[in-house]
Amino acid sequence: MGLSTLISHLRLVHELAKAERKRLYDAELTVEGHGFSAFLELETLSDTVHGIASSLVSRGSVNDPAKAQVELLTCDPFAKAPFLEWLESLADEYPHVCIEIELLDYLRLKTLELLSRWPT
């Protein structure tokens, strides 16, 4: 599956997850002193992955391929313990958000694979 197809699927899933994202945002607002935000992690992941992949699809390039690779490597949602704990404890309450996270991670990995073959 190509990047443009993945981005299209991601847009559909994002629409399906809108109500769940709103619930997640509202739930996190009510928790005082909460140091971790699944909502912010998801937004950061989405902005980073979608931005880099969209640039590759629309322009055929990114400004700095090495920097893009580092950004994609560091935004791995499954490498962050608080995010994994959130997924394990609340995934059933946010099924569309979980699908979105999985699709974003797949897009992240596909984009990394493409960038790894980029001429330097």
Q: How confident is the model at residue 33 (pLDDT cuts 50, 70, 90)?
A: low
Please state the pTM of the whole predicted model.
Answer: 0.89
Q: Which residue has the tokens 């399906």?
A: 16
Helices (H), 30-80: 38-59, 65-74
CB burial string 90-112: b at 16+ within 10 A, e below: eeeebebbbbbbebbbebbebbb
Mean pLDDT of the chain: 89
Domain boundaries, position 25: 3-116
In this predicted structure, the answer to whether residue 31 has a pLDDT above a threshold of 70 is no
Domains held by the chain: number? 1
Task: Give me the pLDDT at residue 26, please.
Answer: 87
In this predicted structure, the answer to whether residue 85 has a pLDDT above a threshold of 90 is no
What's the whole-number mean pLDDT along residues 20-37?
79
Specify the range with the lowest mean pLDDT, choosing from 33-47, 51-65, 84-98: 33-47
Q: Which residue has the tokens 């959130």?
A: 86
Q: What percent of the chain has pLDDT over 70?
A: 95
